[in-house]
Amino acid sequence: MKIPLALLLLLSYNFIGSSHPTLLIIDENSEMFNVRREDVALPFLDEPLIDKHKYEQLLEQLEDQVYIPPINASIDENGQIIPGQLGQQLNKKEFTKQFYKYFYGDIKKGIIVPTLNIHPRVDSELLANIRTRRIGQYTTYFNKNNKERTTNISLAIEAIDNHVIFPGETFSFNKVVGKRTKEKGYLPAPIIIKGELSEGIGGGICQVSSTLFNAVDKAGVNILKRSSHSRNVRYVPKGRDATVSWYGPDFSFQNQYNQPLLLRAKVYGGQVMISVYSSDVINYDPREVPEASKFPFEETELDFDVDSHE
């Protein structure tokens, strides 16, 4: 990825009524704000001194404008690796050095705002290495004609697909998938609240978390948090479910192995398939897990996700 041109700080004397140069901060999209020397100086002093609090506020504002998040490498629908992209952040140490020259000196030229590259945590080389050995896989089934449930499942699957868990790291379903809201495209679908059938935003999400639980359990990972529904669900065998909600239960596990784990998650028609991959050299302890029923579901499929309370 080509990092966008760094921000340019221009010193200008066109601020009317000020005896000090005005600092114009201009980004590549022509968005700008200006800073006068007195805006970041301690008041009522004969000699100018920088107010640390005001300067930190300036830094925060500039950091927000400069920051570009890195993008991890991923695997596309055709199995091809899409390279990651560099991000960038403000080099605060170098910028502070330049800003002090402006504040205490008599600089009358532009300053290129210094930036640092941010490398993605997952690059193409790592992905190529940990996609080679499948150590766990699980498939569950749902009624693909249920539009609301299909939409919710697809959104959650997209959120966890290509996720990499490094050795010693913990995976939290709620943290990775995020809050299930209408703004993100989640739709009302049947849920279970305290044992009763109801309707709520994000219904169907628990089928994804339950499928994930069984996939990673097959791989022998360390399960940290898992709760069962208040009623039996039909998409996994009894006792093999993992309920989640934003303000309630979470599903989490830890990668205790010495190799990273790669999650691949897909929806194929009425199937939810989640696979766990790693490198050829991983030494893992698989577990026996009962398979899910392929019995087609009715429109009133049940799930538990109390995101309807959000």
Three-state DSSP state, 301: coil
For residue 128, being part of any structural domain is answered with no
Q: Which residues of the chain have pLDDT under 50?
A: 1-6, 11-18, 30-31, 192-200, 299-310
Spatial distance between the Cα atoms of 254 and 250, rounded to a whole number of angstroms: 13
**Residue range(s) defining the domain that contains residue 287:** 133-309
- Of 85, 120, 155, the position where a domain reaches its end is 120
209's tokens: 């978390």
pTM of the entire predicted model: 0.80
For residue 64, being part of any structural domain is answered with yes
- The confidence score (pLDDT) of residue 12 equals 46
How are strands ordered across the β-sheet holding 22-26? 32-36, 22-26, 8-12, 111-112
Closest CA to 49 of 107, 96, 100: 100
**What is the distance between the terminal CA atoms of the chain, rounded to a whole angstrom?**
38
Q: Are 142 and 37 in contact (CB under 8 A)?
A: no
Residues 6 or more apart from 268 whose CB is under 8 A from it? Answer: none
For residue 72, being part of any structural domain is answered with yes
- The confidence score (pLDDT) of residue 98 equals 83
Shared-domain flag, residues 267 and 171: yes
Q: Are 205 and 170 in contact (CB under 8 A)?
A: no
Burial level of 124, CB count in 10 A (0-12/13-18/19+)? middle
Shared-domain flag, residues 197 and 300: yes
